């Protein structure tokens, strides 16, 4: 028998990049999550956050959380299923359902847990779940937790998706699962084609819209709204930790499907519910989004502006996404140069995320830049200038 911990002792890549002083993880914030942050004693322009609408610093959102903390305490001390349901949870679910134009919403404690809870409840033994290869890791783990058969199709390849559908037996249920906006590349799912194939073969469709809510669609309603397919997507999943400036996740679906998940999903039934402050902050952020759809317009304007600035500098971006998507991936190709450049940018006051395989394809490592509605063009100019200067020192 080998030592179970042998793998930990051989964790060599992390040791190597630490020794090279290019380890990019766990940098400590000393200020609010904002367009400019104080991080490890220095000003940094934040281009690595998913705070798309910039609401983590909104006074109304903050006050709502503080007020809920005072009125309702620090936590619920139990699951929604038993003692942990607040009127505030029900209010958030009802308002979110109305906003998304679905019959019902179920909230989960985190976005990751939402995907575990939805897929493991809906997909059972004998069923099939078909996944885009670039779907988020939580979707893959949800498939593992289910007892269904998982098939994968090449990213965005509708012919390959159809081949997968043709493998599903006539007596099996089938769920097609896709990110709405892909978190690394920023591309938008080919939802019209996916929905048409689902209808042709009798499959159901689930969209992980963690990076779509507040980003595109009518008033920020997400990917299905963007394509006018709200009645064709059976399940939306989303998070509160991005555009809604809090923590938690949700499923939006028909009333019957939502009720089934509430009574069947182990990750939902056996987890403590969203704390009052997080719930109140998400609800307030949702109301701000409803009242101020221009925030989505400002976010999209910033995305277009940054892409223009980067193109003018001759920097190569990953293409294929909508120009209004606030995820701007810059090719750096190999892991070590990517980490070196990320560290160089950090030292010069710009925080970006290094995206490495397996989060990207081999030889397609990226600098993942992400924008907020609250970024100014002046800040974007400053950041792009630093990015261009740093990249100019490397042969890519």
Catalytic, 263? Answer no
* Residue ranges of domains in the chain: 10-46+293-391, 59-291
pLDDT above 70 coverage of the chain, percent: 99
3-state DSSP percent of the chain in helix, strand and coil, to 5? 45, 15, 40
For residue 185, give the nearest of 368, 336, 372, 391 by alpha carbon. 368
Q: Burial code of 261-282, b = ≥16 C-beta within 10 A, e = fewer? A: bbeebebbbebebbbbbbbbbb
Per-residue DSSP letter, 11:
-
Q: At 335, phi and psi to the nearest 5?
A: -60, -50
Cis peptide preceding 358, ω within 30 of 0: yes
Integer angstrom CA distances of residue 118 from 38, 151, 190? 37, 17, 22
Q: Edge to edge, what strands does the sheet with 353-355 contain?
A: 327-333, 365-370, 353-355
Instruction: List residues bridging with 205 in a β-sheet.
Output: 176
What mean pLDDT do residues 346-364 have?
92
Residue given tokens 């950041």 in the structure block: 383
Integer angstrom CA distances of residue 364 from 114, 120, 189, 281, 310? 29, 32, 20, 37, 18
Q: pTM surpassing 0.85?
A: yes
Assigned token pair, 212: 């779509």
* pLDDT tens-digit readout, 59-96: 999 999 999 999 999 999 999 999 999 999 999 999 99
Q: CA 391, CA 26: separation in Å to the nearest integer?
A: 23
For residue 132, give the nearest of 155, 150, 116 by alpha carbon. 155
Assigned token pair, 56: 């983590």
Q: Is the per-residue pLDDT at 320 higher than 70?
A: no
Instruction: List residues bridging with 177 in a β-sheet.
Output: 131, 206
Q: CA 325, CA 52: separation in Å to the nearest integer?
A: 10
Q: CA 309, CA 304: separation in Å to the nearest integer?
A: 9
Q: Is the per-residue pLDDT at 33 higher than 80?
A: yes
Q: CA 303, CA 384: separation in Å to the nearest integer?
A: 12
CATH of span 10-46+293-391: 3.90.1150.10
Q: What is the pLDDT of residue 392?
A: 93
Cα Rg, the chain, nearest whole Å? 21
Residue range 59-291 in CATH 3.30.420.10: no
Catalytic, 183? Answer yes
Catalytic, 375? Answer no
What mean pLDDT do residues 236-251 have?
98
For residue 214, give the nearest of 250, 237, 242 by alpha carbon. 242
Q: Is the per-residue pLDDT at 214 higher than 70?
A: yes
For residue 177, give the nearest of 143, 243, 131 by alpha carbon. 131
Q: CA 239, CA 109: separation in Å to the nearest integer?
A: 10
Pairing of strands 42-46, 350-351: parallel
Q: CA 259, CA 84: separation in Å to the nearest integer?
A: 17
* pLDDT tens-digit readout, 285-314: 999 999 999 999 999 999 999 999 999 999
* pLDDT tens-digit readout, 132-191: 999 999 999 999 999 999 999 999 999 999 999 999 999 999 999 999 999 988 999 999
3-state secondary structure of 26: coil
Q: Is the per-residue pLDDT at 21 higher than 70?
A: yes
Count of other CB atoms within 10 angstroms of residue 79: 16
Q: CA 3, CA 236: separation in Å to the nearest integer?
A: 43
Q: Which of 102, 136, 211, 375 is catalytic?
A: 211
Q: Which of 183, 271, 370, 374 is catalytic?
A: 183
> Exposed, middle or buried, 33 (CB in 10 Å: 0-12/13-18/19+)?
middle
Q: What mean pLDDT value characterizes the chain? A: 96
For residue 130, give the nearest of 107, 154, 109, 98 by alpha carbon. 154
* pLDDT tens-digit readout, 257-288: 999 999 999 999 999 999 999 999 999 999 99
3-state secondary structure of 69: helix
Assigned token pair, 87: 């009127």
């Amino acid at each position: 028998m080998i030592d179970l911990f042998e793998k930990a002792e051989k964790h060599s890549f992390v040791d190597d990049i630490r020794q090279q002083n290019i380890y990019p993880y766990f940098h400590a914030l000393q200020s609010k999550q904002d367009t400019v942050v104080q991080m490890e004693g220095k000003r940094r322009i934040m281009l690595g956050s998913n705070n798309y609408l910039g609401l983590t610093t909104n006074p109304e959102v903050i006050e709502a959380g503080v007020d809920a903390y005072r009125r309702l305490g620090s936590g619920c001390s139990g699951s929604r299923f038993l003692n942990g349901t607040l009127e505030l949870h029900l209010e958030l679910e009802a308002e979110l359902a109305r906003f998304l134009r679905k019959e019902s919403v179920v909230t989960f404690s985190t976005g990751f847990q939402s995907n575990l809870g939805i897929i493991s409840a809906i997909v059972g033994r004998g069923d099939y779940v078909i996944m885009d290869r670039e779907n988020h890791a939580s979707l893959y783990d949800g498939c593992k937790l289910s007892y269904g058969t998982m098939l994968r199709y090449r990213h965005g390849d509708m012919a390959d998706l159809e081949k997968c559908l043709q493998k599903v037996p006539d007596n099996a249920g089938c769920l097609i699962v896709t990110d709405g906006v892909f978190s690394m590349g920023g591309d938008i799912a080919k939802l019209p084609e996916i929905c048409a194939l689902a209808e042709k073969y009798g499959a159901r469709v689930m969209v992980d819209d963690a990076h779509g809510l507040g980003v595109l669609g009518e008033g920020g309603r997400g990917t299905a709204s963007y394509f006018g397919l709200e009645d064709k997507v059976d399940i939306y999943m989303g998070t509160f930790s991005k555009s809604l400036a809090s923590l938690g996740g949700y499923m939006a679906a028909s009333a019957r499907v939502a009720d089934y998940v509430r009574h069947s999903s182990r990750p939902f039934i056996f987890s403590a519910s969203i704390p009052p402050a997080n719930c109140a902050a998400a609800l307030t952020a949702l109301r701000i989004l409803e009242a101020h759809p221009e925030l989505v317009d400002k976010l999209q304007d910033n995305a277009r502006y940054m892409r223009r600035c980067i193109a003018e500098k001759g920097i190569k971006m990953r293409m294929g996404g909508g120009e209004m998507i606030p995820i701007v991936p810059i090719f750096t190709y190999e892991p070590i140069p990517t980490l070196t450049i990320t560290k160089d940018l950090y030292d010069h006051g710009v925080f970006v995320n290094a995206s490495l395989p397996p989060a990207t394809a081999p030889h397609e490592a990226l600098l993942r830049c992400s924008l907020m509605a609250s970024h100014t063009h002046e800040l974007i100019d400053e950041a792009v200038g630093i990015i261009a200067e740093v990249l100019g020192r490397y042969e890519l």
